[in-house]
Amino acid sequence: MRTLVTGGAGYIGAFAVDALCRHGHDVVVFDNLTNGHPSAVSVPLISGDLTDRPAIFAAVESNRFDAVFHFASYISVSESVANPGKYFHHNVTGAINLLDASVAAGIPYFVFASSSEVYGDAVYLPLDEAHQLQPVNPYGLSKLTVESFLKWYDAAYGLRSISLRFFNAAGAALDGSMGEDHRPEEHLIPCAVRGALGLEPFQLTSAAVDTPDGTTIRDYVHVLDLVDAFLRSLAVLQEGQPTDQINVGTGRGYSTREVIAAVQRITGCEFPVEPGEPRPGEPPAKYASNGKAKEILGWQPAYDLDAIVASAVAWHRSHPNGYPDGDVEVSQARQADAVAHE
């Protein structure tokens, strides 16, 4: 299939591109490169922003795509609390433009990177898809809003979709060739790993919450497991699966202090943990019920927390500065290649 991957130069998007290519799909990336890295992908790359309606329409209309994987969004919970307008404009308006372009081009399948943030504070655990949807931050609300759009776009236009509500994506390629490179980095595992490796100081930013050790509890799912769920979603849509929303998580929660202990054990480094400012908008505890993913997608996680941390260590050891930036020639060459595919 010919597949458009928005945000395909970002963390999860780049892994999805790699997996799609290995499964024989023809892939084009659309990314504004605000947080993406051209060197993370080796397929045609169109540099553009989803809020630029003519740009995404032109990209979709000229390429005859069979499916869309939509990863392009801003993802910082704390930033969304401080600047909600940015998140509603990009994550919601951009999604409308992409959906309209997909409908105009007759694309039948759409797989959306949603988030466990759509649930808000847990009324019960593990979180299943029947849990109430009350986001406690603008980022989560932006994801839930797009989910609601997808239901109506199916009813009106026949664009079938699966929204994957994934929990905390983490980890890297097992050989250390690909990994997580956000700038600035806010996610716990890469920050702790970089602290252990002496690449930068580590700060504990978990708010004081009512959990056994007083730090937030999260469900960490390996990025390789996550992209497996995306490919399975596309496959079941082709088989006739109706529009749906599905959790992707391991079903096990780890506290911030448990994760730090795992990083220290695997690296053999008892690095100092400096106090930092707690991040607003963070629910105390979240972990998934993944029964629906197992039933509908035939999916189950292959990697545990130790495997996640070990792969992240391999990535940051081999790429202490992350992906090479400023590779304008690579970006321009891939954009020209994308145009040549039209």
Active site residues: 139
User: Which residues have C-beta within 8 Å of that of residue 179, sequence separation ≥ 6?
Assistant: 11, 171, 172, 173, 190, 311, 312, 315, 316, 319, 322
CA distance 5 to 12: 11
Which residues on neighbouring strands pair with residue 21, listed in sequence order?
A: none
Q: Hey, CA dihedral for 108, 111, 117, 122, is it positive or negative? A: positive
Output DSSP code: residue 206. P
The backbone region for 54, taken as left when phi is positive above 0, alpha when psi lies in -120 to 50, beta otherwise, is alpha
Closest by CA position to 168, among listed 285, 273, 53: 285
CA distance 66 to 205: 42
Q: Cβ atoms within 10 A of the Cβ of 115, count? A: 24
Contact assessment for residue 143 and residue 114, using Cβ atoms and an 8 Å cutoff: yes
Q: Cβ atoms within 10 A of the Cβ of 51, count? A: 17
Strand, helix or coil for residue 154: helix
Output DSSP code: residue 121. S
Q: How many helices (H) and strands (E) does the chain have?
A: 12, 13
Distance between start and end Cα atoms, the chain: 15
Prior bond of 38 cis (ω within 30°): no
Contact assessment for residue 287 and residue 144, using Cβ atoms and an 8 Å cutoff: no
Amino acid at 222: H
Contact assessment for residue 220 and residue 168, using Cβ atoms and an 8 Å cutoff: yes
Instruction: Give how far the C-alpha of residue 203 lies from the chain's centroid of Cα atoms, to the nearest Å.
Output: 23
